[in-house]
Amino acid sequence: MKEIIVETIRRETGAFMPYHQYIEMALYHPQKGYYMRKQPKIGREGDFYTTPSMTPVFGEFLGKWLCRTLKEANLPPVICELGGGGGQMAANVLKGFTEEDAGFAMELVYYMVEASPYHQASIKHVTGDDSRIRILPALESLPLIEGIIFSNEFFDAFPVDVIVKQDGEWKEAGITPIGEDLVETVRDIRDEEIRQLLQTWDIPPFMNRIEIPLQMIAAYEAVIDKLMCGFLLTIDYGMDSEEWFSPIRKDGTLRAYRNHQLLDSILDTPGEADITFTVPFDLLRNQGTKMGCHEKYWGGQAEFLIEGGILEELIPHADSDPFSLASKRNRQIRQLIMGESISDYFRVLWQEKHIL
C-alpha cells in the first residue's frame, strides 16, 4: 500500500498529498485499503473494539428503542444503519425490535450502508441473509426515507485534513515521500472550505494541530437530505468543541490502531491499521440545526441509555449463580452504564426532522 501511495503522490503532484487523500487511500483503496481487505477488524481477533462487538445488550436495547420511537411518531418501520461493520449490531437490533413488536418487525425494511465488501459478506452471514436487510455500498444508493437513520462509530472513520500551527500561523499538513518513507510536510492552506471553517471556529490559542473533517460534514449533510421525515441517531467517540479543544488534545486526535495497540505514527503501515479521530460533534449538531433539524438529545451514552429505559431491562432473579444467563445479562447492562465503562467515551446525538 505504501508503494501505491508513493507512486500516486509522485504521479499526481510530485510532492504533497493532503491528509484526507492519504487516509482515503489507506482505509478505502479498492484492493489494499484497510476496510476493503479480507481480514477481521472489529473485536478480539481484529484491531479495535466497538460497543456492539463487546455486548449484544447494546444493540438489542437500541432495537427496542428504535421500534418504540418509530411507533410513537407514527413512522413506517424503516431504519437505516450507516457503516454497519460486520453486522453484529444489525443482528442484535433485529432481535430487540422483534421482542418489542414482532408484527411491526415483520414489516421492517432495514437498509445498511456499508462500503466494505468484506463487511457486506459478514453482514449476510451474521444475520442469516435476512430478507428485511438491504445492503447498499454507498449513501448515494439510499432512497429518500421516512424513518430513522442511525450509526455507531461511522463518522469517526471519515478521512480528515490536518492543519498545524507554525510561527503562529495555520498551515496545511500533508504527506511527502522521501525515498521509501512517507513523512509529514506543510504548505499554505489552499482549500477555501478549510479557510472558511477556520474563520467560524473559535480555536483557543494553545491548539497546535487540528483535524478538519470536511468529508464528515458533507456526509452528515447528505444523510439529512436522505431523510424526508424522521430521526437521526448518531453515536460516536466524540465530544463538543469545548471539550475537544483541550490542552490534552492540543496536538490533535488523529491516530491509528493495529492489534489493539495505538501506533506511534499513522504513516508507517497504511492499509494495515485503522485510522480514526475524535468526532467534534458541534459540527454535526450545527449542520443539523442549519438544515432544520431539532435536537432531541445531546450527551453521554450512559445517560441516553438510562433515559431510554435500559434499567428496566435488568432481569430480577433470585439465583446466586454469577454465570447464569440472567446474571450475565444484568452484568452487561451495568457495564454499559456504570462509571469507567465504554459508554464514558461515547456521545449520542438525536435529532428529528419534519416530525409533526
First-to-last CA distance in the chain?
50
Distance (Å, whole) CA 269 – CA 263:
9
Distance (Å, whole) CA 171 – CA 163:
5
Q: Is 308 in the site for ligand SAM (CB under 6 A)?
A: no
Distance of closest approach, residue 233 Cβ to ligand SAM, in angstroms: 12
Residue (95 or 165) nearer to ligand SAM, CB = 95
Instruction: Please report which helix (H) or strand (E) contains residue 223, including its range.
Output: helix 214-226
Q: Is 115 in the site for ligand SAM (CB under 6 A)?
A: yes
**φ and ψ at residue 185, rounded to 5 degrees:** -130, 170
Residue (116 or 176) nearer to ligand SAM, CB = 116
Q: Is 287 in the site for ligand SAM (CB under 6 A)?
A: no
Which of 12, 15, 125, 138 contacts ligand SAM by CB under 6 A? 138
SS3 of 177-189: EECCEEEEEEECC
Q: Is 113 in the site for ligand SAM (CB under 6 A)?
A: yes
Q: Is 53 in the site for ligand SAM (CB under 6 A)?
A: yes
Tell me the site size for ligand SAM, rule CB under 6 A: 19
Q: Is 119 in the site for ligand SAM (CB under 6 A)?
A: yes
Q: Which residues contact 205 (CB under 8 A, 6 or more apart)?
A: none
- Residues 139-142: contacts with CB within 8 Å, 24+ apart? 139/82, 139/113, 139/219, 139/222, 139/223, 139/226, 140/222, 141/113, 142/80, 142/111, 142/113, 142/226
Residue (83 or 308) nearer to ligand SAM, CB = 83
Residue (43 or 76) nearer to ligand SAM, CB = 43
Distance of closest approach, residue 43 Cβ to ligand SAM, in angstroms: 8
Which of 116, 122, 176, 351 contacts ligand SAM by CB under 6 A? 116
> What cell was used for 243?
471539550
Residue (153 or 282) nearer to ligand SAM, CB = 153
Question: Which residues in the 154-173 window bind ligand SAM by CB under 6 A?
Answer: 154, 157
Type of residue at 230 = G
Distance of closest approach, residue 178 Cβ to ligand SAM, in angstroms: 30
- Closest by Cα among 298, 268, 275 to 286: 298
**φ and ψ at residue 345, rounded to 5 degrees:** -95, -5
- Region from 47-55, 174-182, 318-326, 346-354 binding ligand SAM, contact rule CB under 6 A: 47-55
- Region from 81-89, 97-105, 170-178, 330-338 binding ligand SAM, contact rule CB under 6 A: 81-89
SS3 of 82-94: ECCCCCHHHHHHH
Question: Which residues in the 214-253 window bind ligand SAM by CB under 6 A?
Answer: none
Backbone region of residue 178 per phi and psi (left: phi > 0; alpha: psi in -120 to 50; beta: other values): beta
Distance (Å, whole) CA 159 – CA 262:
18
**Residue at grid coordinates 506543510:** 186
- Region from 110-118, 190-198, 277-285, 291-299 binding ligand SAM, contact rule CB under 6 A: 110-118
Residue (73 or 342) nearer to ligand SAM, CB = 342
Q: Is 52 in the site for ligand SAM (CB under 6 A)?
A: yes
- Cα separation values, 148 from 58, 82, 177, Å: 17, 11, 44
Which of 19, 35, 111, 277 contacts ligand SAM by CB under 6 A? 35
Distance of closest approach, residue 10 Cβ to ligand SAM, in angstroms: 27
Given the rule CB under 6 A, which residues bind ligand SAM? 35, 42, 50, 52-53, 83-85, 89, 113-116, 119, 138, 152-154, 157
